[in-house]
Chain A
Amino acid sequence: MLTTEEKHKIDHEISLVPSPKNACIEALKIVQQSHGWVSDESLKDVADYVGMSPAELDSVATFYNLIFRRPVGRHVILVCDSISCWVMGYEGIRDRLFDKLSIKYGQTTEDGRFTILPNCCLGTCDRAPALMIDNDLYRDLTVEQLDEILEKYT
């Protein structure tokens, strides 16, 4: 069930576009913001609300990299794996994260704290390697900095 607050926010987005379904990506973002991801149930709720079939909405939801159709941890680590970060040796960063958190791409730590995902170029290539945790960008990264960075997220 969509909450009143979610409906209120979705209504606002619908008011800005010609047809309710034009607001479906915004609606998915709103649901993801409150739950961390978009469950099958949420997807169906949103589809009903904006007048789409669940299959049609899922074709949109699964198209975009940052709509999560599986549960994620409290914090999502996005590791840039594109060319400039590769040239600057981002794999050391990635492997250290895998080791330290005992997870690989697409997995979540047992305590539900972190999910780690690969991500396309973050647009900060002059300061590679880079990653984002939630809304925070980290760049000019070295393996040594990782412990301190991860400690900020509980």
Chain B
Amino acid sequence: MEKPLTQHIVPGRAPLSLKEYEQVGGYQSVRKILKEMAPAEVQTLVKDSNLRGRGGAGFNTGLKWSFVPMGPEAAKPKYLVANADEMEPGTFKDRVLLEGNPHQLIEGMIVAAYAIDASISYIFMRWAYKVAAKEIIKALAEAYEAGYLGENILGSGFSLDMHLHTGVGRYMCGEETALLNALEGKRANPRAKPPFPQVSGLFGKPTIVNNVETLCCLPHIINNGAEWFKGLSKTQDAGTKLYGISGRVKTPGCWELPMGTTIRELIEEHGGGMQDGYLFKGLLPGGASTDFLVDEHLDLPMDYTAIQVAGSRMGTGTMIILDDQTCPVGFVQNLQHFFAQESCGFCTPCREGLPWVEKILLAIDKGEGKPEHLLTLDFHTKYLGPGNTFCALAPGAMEPLQSALKYFREDFERHIHEHHCPWSKAKVWQPSI
């Protein structure tokens, strides 16, 4: 089984130096595009490979690039940003790539920057990734030294600067327009679209923001072609995918596997099955802002298409398991506390609605719930849903809530009727103030 993105990552071992990386074929894709391919050809190849954005939205990467104005008339400078903010709770896949093979990311970013004719690039990385920051700083210096970055790369006439920017903590920074505001030294509020960042992004210039895993796929697509990339997958969504599992399985972790690997295989074979004494109750397939899936979904392939048909989203592909001994109301309460706290407060439904939801869930979990509370929660899942808020934060927050109310409604009702949390451990979430 091919694992292009993680083949050179060995847990516990330092990432490849530039020299070692070159010895295993590193930076070949940069040499190839600079010598043989026009930016438009790179865009077409990536579009044909059906690479879809690994940050969670799943938009075709080549298509996203194609909205950037090209040619001598286009506004300059253009920017490329690697979104390495990874703050979606339950998600830890980009950390693996950032710590394990920073040169692969840099190489992918050079490919992406060349495709859109960007001359300045940033890696926007969350504060907490200290090891990754150290490795990236080292790798950037090596890449500059070797002439893969800077002026006139390998004598091609193409120039690219790359900087590491570490954030100061806020979930909103993962939203691409909010990220751009953060990079500009502003509050990370989302921006109105249109104009889209491809046309007017960082400092008002054309900008592409791509996820780390997406960028790391690029060198391999350039080297091996679109058909090869599609062939890595078990389904119509191309490539491999970094899947992860956290929660009460025997061997939680992160693995690169063919796109479309089934949920059951992920949990049973890679996660080692549930821990002794714990039964599977449900899961969030790709981070805190995705809808629950349950038993009936276990044989679904984990890809964008199948998970969407099932009423959820693959999101980041790193799943969080809900076991039978964990209270689903407490679980959702923890998620809503996070979203309420991380709301930027810019638009009213999100700022006011999420704390309301959190309060109700806390009351239910403490045994102070009333039957009408469930209707108020139902109401919120609609009025904080898509189309009613400025960005996707609140609609994302409603995904686990609406699906919990669907699949675990009896558990909510038991809390209300029995006036206490039926989970004897009484794992009542306490807001952390």
- Assuming A64-B168, A105-B433, A126-B246, is B253 touching A121 (CB within 8 A)? no
| B163 partner residues in chain A, CB cutoff 8 A | 16
Contact of B186 among A60, A91, A105, A118 (CB under 8 A): A60
The answer for the CA separation of A123 and B171 in the assembled complex, in Å, is: 12
Question: How many A-B pairs fall under 8 Å by CB?
Answer: 136
Q: Is the CB of B168 within 8 A of A17?
A: no
A86-122 interface bits toward B, Cβ cutoff 8 Å, 1 = contact, 0 = none: 1110010000000000000110000000000011111
Q: Is the CB of A86 within 8 A of B185?
A: no
Q: Is the CB of A120 within 8 A of B342?
A: yes
Task: Count contacts on B: residues with CB < 8 A to the other chain.
Answer: 58
Q: Is the CB of B323 within 8 A of A84?
A: no
Cβ-based interface call for A142 (8 A) = no
Q: Is the CB of B187 within 8 A of A123?
A: no
Cβ-based interface call for B50 (8 A) = no
Q: Is the CB of B168 within 8 A of A84?
A: no
- Assuming A64-B170, A65-B170, A123-B128, is B246 touching A128 (CB within 8 A)? yes
Q: Is the CB of B171 within 8 A of A120?
A: yes
Cβ-based interface call for A135 (8 A) = yes
Q: Separation in Å of the A16 CB from the closest CB of chain B?
A: 7
Q: Is the CB of B252 within 8 A of A121?
A: no
Cβ-based interface call for B182 (8 A) = yes
The answer for the CA separation of A57 and B15 in the assembled complex, in Å, is: 39
The answer for the CA separation of A112 and B360 in the assembled complex, in Å, is: 37
Task: Count contacts on A: residues with CB < 8 A to the other chain.
Answer: 44
**Stretch of B81-89, B233-241, B259-267, B372-380 lying at the A interface:** B81-89
Q: Separation in Å of the A38 CB from the closest CB of chain B?
A: 11
Q: Is the CB of B169 within 8 A of A125?
A: no
Q: Is the CB of B252 within 8 A of A126?
A: yes
Q: Is the CB of A120 within 8 A of B87?
A: yes
The answer for the CA separation of A45 and B170 in the assembled complex, in Å, is: 24
The answer for the CA separation of A142 and B429 in the assembled complex, in Å, is: 19
A117-154 interface bits toward B, Cβ cutoff 8 Å, 1 = contact, 0 = none: 01111111111100010011100000000000000000
The answer for the CA separation of A106 and B187 in the assembled complex, in Å, is: 22
Which residues of chain A have a CB within 8 Å of any CB of chain B? 16-18, 21-26, 28-29, 59-60, 63-67, 78, 81-84, 86-88, 91, 105-106, 118-128, 132, 135-137
Pick 7 A–B contacts, CB within 8 A, sort by A: A17-B203, A18-B203, A63-B188, A67-B168, A84-B320, A87-B326, A127-B252
Which residues of chain B have a CB within 8 Å of any CB of chain A? 86-92, 94-95, 126-131, 163, 167-171, 182, 184-188, 203, 244-248, 252-254, 284, 288, 318, 320-323, 326, 330-331, 334-335, 337-338, 341-342, 344, 427, 429-430, 432-433
